[in-house]
Amino acid sequence: MENLLDINYLIESFPAIISRLPITVGIAVGSLILGLFIGIGTALIKIYRVPVLRVISSLYISFIRGTPLLVQIYLVFYGIPKIIYYLQTEYGWLQYVDVNIIAPEVYALLAFSINLGAYLSETIRSAIESVDRGQFEAAKSIGMSPTQMMLKIIFPQALAVAIPNIGNVFISSIKDTSLVFIIGVIDIMGQAKILGSRGLAFFEVYIAVSIIYWILCIIVERLLVKIERRARRYERGIAS
């Protein structure tokens, strides 16, 4: 009679799956950093109502939020090489770029960055707009430039407001990295699928990978709580 669960195979699969953890974390953290830059840029465009760019940013956010991440990954993976090849053949641009050697991790990073940028844009915009307008006026009255005002006064206060939502988006992104196996990236989910097919023990490896995701998300949650507390203390220091 077949056992319900092969405990030995489950335990043995952990090291192999964990060995791919840097890929998962790297894509999640890298896309968060790039996504923050995209999000801040699009948020400022909407706040300052920059002509033309405001319309483009609104379309970008609407498209990303209205389409599945899986589709976006495919669009980046198949679209970017096609665009590069078109520019090379039609205009002679980017001749030094060989799309055949671009690692699938790069496409995954770009897709996730573009996706996160749209969601973080709205989070950052609402956080900036939540800062008391008196702070803007006070910064202007002492002769601060718009850049100085944003970096020294507005962003630190907006960060404290935005951290919980940024954290939720980041945790969702960690779990969504399980999709990158479809374009050939061997992350922890991809490694689990490979191990499952080798030993015909999919139930065991999926239990293992779910535990790893769970622990990883718990660790991130704890770190975010600490970061939020520090940001709140910094915010109170500015206000005083």
Which one, of 33, 47, 61, lies nearest residue 133 by Cα? 47
Average pLDDT over residues 55-64: 96
Which one, of 114, 122, 130, lies nearest residue 176 by Cα? 114
- pLDDT computed for residue 2 by the predictor: 60
- pLDDT computed for residue 155 by the predictor: 86
- pLDDT computed for residue 213 by the predictor: 97
Question: Which one is predicted more confidently, 5 or 45?
Answer: 45
Which one, of 190, 182, 188, lies nearest residue 72 by Cα? 182
At residue 1, does pLDDT exceed 50?
Answer: no
At residue 240, does pLDDT exceed 60?
Answer: no
For 62-95, the pLDDT digits (tens) are 999 999 999 999 999 999 999 999 999 999 998 8
Q: What is the DSSP string of 141-174?
A: HTT--HHHHIIIIIHHHHHHHHHHHHHHHHHHHH
Residues in the chain: 240
> Coil, strand or helix: which one is 230?
helix
Determine the residue type at 216. Answer: L
Give yes or no for a contact between 144 and 152, defined as CB atoms under 8 angstroms apart.
yes
Q: Which residues contact 183 (CB under 8 A, 6 or more apart)?
A: 73, 74, 77, 104, 107, 108
For 202-226, the pLDDT digits (tens) are 999 999 999 999 999 999 999 999 9
For 105-132, the pLDDT digits (tens) are 999 999 999 999 999 999 999 999 988 8
For 156-196, the pLDDT digits (tens) are 888 888 999 999 999 999 999 999 999 999 999 999 999 99
Calculate the alpha carbon distances from 231 to 86, 142, 152, 156, 157 in Å.
47, 24, 14, 8, 8
For domain 7-239, which CATH number applies: 3.40.630.10, 1.10.3720.10, 3.40.50.800, 3.30.70.1400? 1.10.3720.10
pLDDT, the chain, mean: 91
